[in-house]
Amino acid sequence: MTPTNALSATGAPLKFMERLRTEASVEPDAVSTAPVTKETQIIAIYGKGGIGKSFTLANLSYMMAQQGKKVLLIGCDPKSDTTSLLFGGRACPTIIETSSKKKLAGEAVAIGDVCFKRDGVYAMELGGPEVGRGCGGRGIIHGFELLEKLGFHEWGFDYVLLDFLGDVVCGGFGLPIARDMCQKVIVVASNDLQSLYVANNVCSAVEYFRKLGGNVGVAGMVINRDDGTGEAAAFAEKVGIPVLSTIPANDDIRRKSASYEIIGRPDSVWGPMFAELAENVGTSQPMRPKPMTQDQLLGLFSADVVGRNVVLEPATQFDMCGKTEIKKETLEVVYDEV
């Protein structure tokens, strides 16, 4: 019979050790696939730089506000251009810049210093460091730390939309996925290889963190500047995510976007398109994507577009040295047998 106060080899009581082993043997709960139940939907939108995320989000957030939703748009791109369309081209003071100025002045940052609104849409920019003077990902982390101090988790919004640059793969830009800060991710892409490469990377990141126990899923894709060639739609089908909206490559849209005009209005000719997108974004469910390999991604395009007919020819030492081939003995140390 084992005494109740017996010790293990490490000096801990045996009953305590048995309790730890029992607790450790319990399998964790399965990853939730239930519909989003949190009152505030926090959605991270990713895409290649210049693909039209800011255009899409400005018009989407404006339409949501016109539908009676309370929306917060947060730009998480160092270019700080997410809110420029919303504010008619005006630059919005960034959180990082404002925080630095307030710190030097010995003052605290107030919400009115960094958050601004237009027609029911609330918006802010995290910002980033000057070129060559810091890490953009670290700037994002710092920005969210300040938002948490300002009460981010207590704010009462229907939707919080986060605009993230998908080209960058460092930790700061993966923050919403890695830390379960959002419930779902939406990717913006077009019918070109580079934007789909970025979208595939985002799907890979989501799947990686799901395997680690994360709960973020990909809710779908917005195809921007669609020219009808179909590669983006084929990609969405292959990775198992829905297409939430297809925005055509239209000259009217291009001109109005270039002049900082909101087209996501109920009375606009493009209003129904953004109204449908708003509905699809709200009801879409986070899903586990099936990322493609590089060869599978290239397979979406014809060989003359991506150059898959090119044959890799190995270089020789003669190619590298020029006129004569220099043969060098190995630098490996060989010991004589005793």
Q: Which residues are catalytic?
A: 48, 53, 79, 167
Alpha-carbon distances of 96 from 42, 77, 117, 147, 246, rounded to whole Å: 21, 12, 19, 11, 34
Cα–Cα distance measured from residue 48 to residue 235, given in angstroms and rounded to the nearest whole number: 15
Cα–Cα distance measured from residue 23 to residue 42, given in angstroms and rounded to the nearest whole number: 33
Cα–Cα distance measured from residue 8 to residue 25, given in angstroms and rounded to the nearest whole number: 19
HSE (CB half, 13 Å, CA atoms) of 39? 6
HSE (CB half, 13 Å, CA atoms) of 248? 7
Cα–Cα distance measured from residue 12 to residue 155, given in angstroms and rounded to the nearest whole number: 46
Shortest CA distance to 146 belongs to which of 75, 82, 74, 95? 95
